[in-house]
Amino acid sequence: MGRLRVEETWTTDEYGPSHEGSVGVLLADGTVPGPVYFDSGSGSGGEAVGHWSVYDGRWPHAPKAAVLRAVCSCGWTGPEHPVDWESIGETPFREAGLTDADTCLQDWDGHTAAVGATTVPLPAEVTDLVERLVEEIEKLARTSPIAAVKAARQLEVAAARVGYWAAHDTHKDTPPDQAASALGLSTTDTRKLLARYGRWSPYR
């Protein structure tokens, strides 16, 4: 998927912040730790870090992780992966924990796939047409990048045109929570999407 395994968060193009994933930490007592504060030593403040790799218990202010698991902004949590500190030994946690962190990413990938399976289905001919169009534009970009830009721009214009009335009809006929579920987005992101296509203020 082209994501580094040590990234703070993961997103997909389709779901964006509605399903933003990351590696979550649980302590031995089952609680979720707060960010670890690192003093800069300069008297100008420090930095609060919540990345899983800082929870190695090697500093008084950094508790030791007992479990790593994938978490998502939608509230979903993945399977728990216990941290084997005995096997880790003196290896830095940011290195030793990469395998479990990568497994968390795979768990979250499975979650987003499951989300996609619950969204409103598209007719096969529409999906195939979009995929073929993308392939043709990518092929065009190899021989004439500027022509591919023009094609991409035409796609934007077409999307704005066909999305206008679809957004208004959805807003009129479909409750916000149902629209969000059908799109796989949060209600906030669904409201923003419909407002963008329908050309009204999302704050109205």
- Domain count across the chain: 2
Model confidence pLDDT, tens digit, residues 5-53? 345 899 999 999 999 999 999 999 999 999 988 776 655 556 888 999 9
pLDDT at 1 over 50: no
pLDDT, tens digit, 9 for 90 and up, residues 60-75: 789 999 999 999 999 9
Domain match, 85 and 158 both: no
Are residues 131 and 158 both part of a single domain?
A: yes
Q: Does residue 114 share a domain with residue 29?
A: yes
Same domain, 94 and 149: no
Whether residue 19 contacts residue 73, with contact meaning beta carbons closer than 8 Å, is answered with: yes
Domain coverage including residue 86: 16-118
Smallest CA-to-CA distance from 154 within 174, 136, 173 is with: 136
Last residue of a domain, one of 118, 140, 157: 118
Residue 40 lies in a domain: yes
Mean pLDDT, rounded, for 115-129: 97
**pTM of this prediction?**
0.88
pLDDT of residue 195: 97
Residue 93 · residue 56 · CB < 8 Å: yes
Does 10 reside within a domain?
Answer: no
Amino acid of residue 46: G
Distance CA 142, CA 102 (A): 33
Q: Work out the mean pLDDT of the chain and round it to a whole number.
A: 92
In a domain, 11, yes or no: no
- DSSP assignment letter at 42: S
Residue 4 in domain: no
- Same domain as 192, residue 133: yes
26 with 48, same domain? yes
Please name every residue paired with 17 in a beta bridge, in sequence order, or none if there are none: none
User: Are residues 24 and 67 both part of a single domain?
Assistant: yes
Domain presence at residue 6: no
Same domain, 79 and 25: yes
Query: In this structure, are 94 and 173 located in the same domain?
Result: no
